[in-house]
């Protein structure tokens, strides 16, 4: 089965990281997590159990401090974000918070995850599963950033009628590119606002990944 790099960012939905990691493992994927510093506020990386007895927790959950673990870089040292990109057949960003989405759209790469994204082989599948407060989701910057990320990953400018995140998700679903946007859903959020912004159900994320990998001929 495919190697999946699960990028976890600082959304409350990161509390489901352990469950999503388990779902991906049960589906047969080999999974590594790369988590932003903010994501660690919402889940404890030590509860992520390695899939095989030979693996250590730190081999499975990569954090920013793992990027440059020595006091000084020495020629020949591994570059963590490049090694992760080489290892992974697919990248799943779930949850993708507003802050990291903005970084991706602007090309910023100041942590291990955003560096891995910037170094990503764009011929390989990417699943985006945003999660944020409703007013953050409906802010004009969100659509602008999603459109830019979609164009960057597909090499094609989204059409004028992709004027909502939902329409953009349909365009990506129907197009030849290897990108899927799994839009958030409506519910009462952790902040007690009610509206769209909760991360999509985990089965939806797995279905998008499976669809991309089958199209790419990787299973």
Look at phi and psi of residue 107 and say left if phi exceeds 0, alpha if psi is from -120 to 50, else beta. left
Residue 219: which H helix or E strand, with range?
A: none
Q: Which residues of the chain are modeled with pLDDT < 70?
A: 50-58, 70, 216-219
Q: Of the residues 80, 81, 115, 145, which is catalytic? A: 81
Name all contacts of 75-81 with Cβ < 8 Å and 24+ positions apart: 80/112, 81/112, 81/113, 81/115, 81/116, 81/119
The pTM assigned to this predicted structure is 0.93
Can you give the pLDDT at residue 97?
98
Assess whether 145 carries a catalytic annotation: no
Tens of pLDDT, residues 125-174: 999 999 999 999 999 999 999 999 999 999 999 999 999 999 999 999 99
**d(Cα 212, Cα 159) in Å, to the nearest integer?**
21
126-130 and 90-96 beta bridge pairing: parallel
What backbone phi and psi angles, to 5 degrees, belong to 207?
Answer: -65, -40
Q: Is 49 left (phi over 0), alpha (psi -120 to 50) or beta?
A: beta
For residue 137, the tally of other CB atoms under 10 A from its CB is 20
Per-residue confidence (pLDDT) for residue 21, from 0 to 100: 97
User: CA-to-CA distance for 91 and 93, rounded, in angstroms?
Assistant: 7
The per-residue pLDDT for 56 is 58
Q: What angle do CA 175, 212, 10 make, to 5 degrees?
A: 100
Identify the H or E element spanning 192: none
Q: What per-residue confidence (pLDDT) applies to 84?
A: 96
Catalytic residue among 80, 139, 145, 191: 191
- The answer to whether the beta carbons of residues 163 and 124 sit under 8 Å apart is no
In the chain, the domains with their CATH numbers are 3-216 (3.40.50.1950)
Alpha carbons 209 and 128: distance in angstroms, whole number: 10
């Amino acid at each position: 089965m495919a190697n999946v790099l699960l990028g976890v960012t600082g959304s409350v939905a990161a509390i489901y990281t352990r469950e999503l990691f388990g779902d991906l493992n049960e589906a047969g994927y080999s999974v590594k997590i790369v988590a932003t510093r903010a994501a660690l506020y919402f889940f404890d990386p030590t509860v992520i159990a390695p899939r095989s007895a030979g693996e250590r927790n730190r081999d499975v959950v990569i954090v920013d401090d793992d990027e440059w673990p020595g006091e000084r870089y020495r020629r020949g040292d591994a570059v963590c974000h490049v090694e992760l990109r080489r290892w992974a057949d697919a990248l799943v960003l779930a949850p993708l918070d507003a802050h990291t989405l903005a970084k991706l759209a602007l090309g910023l790469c100041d942590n291990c995850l955003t560096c891995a994204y910037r170094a990503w082989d764009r011929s390989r599948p990417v699943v985006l599963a945003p999660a944020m407060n409703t007013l953050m989701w409906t802010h004009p910057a969100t659509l602008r950033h999603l459109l830019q990320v979609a164009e960057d990953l597909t090499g094609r400018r989204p059409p004028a009628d992709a004027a909502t995140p939902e329409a953009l998700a349909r365009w990506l679903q129907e197009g030849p590119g290897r990108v899927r946007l799994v839009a958030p859903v409506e519910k009462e959020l952790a902040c007690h606002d009610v509206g769209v912004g909760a991360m999509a159900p985990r089965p939806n994320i797995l279905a998008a990944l499976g669809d991309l990998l089958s199209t790419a001929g990787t299973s």
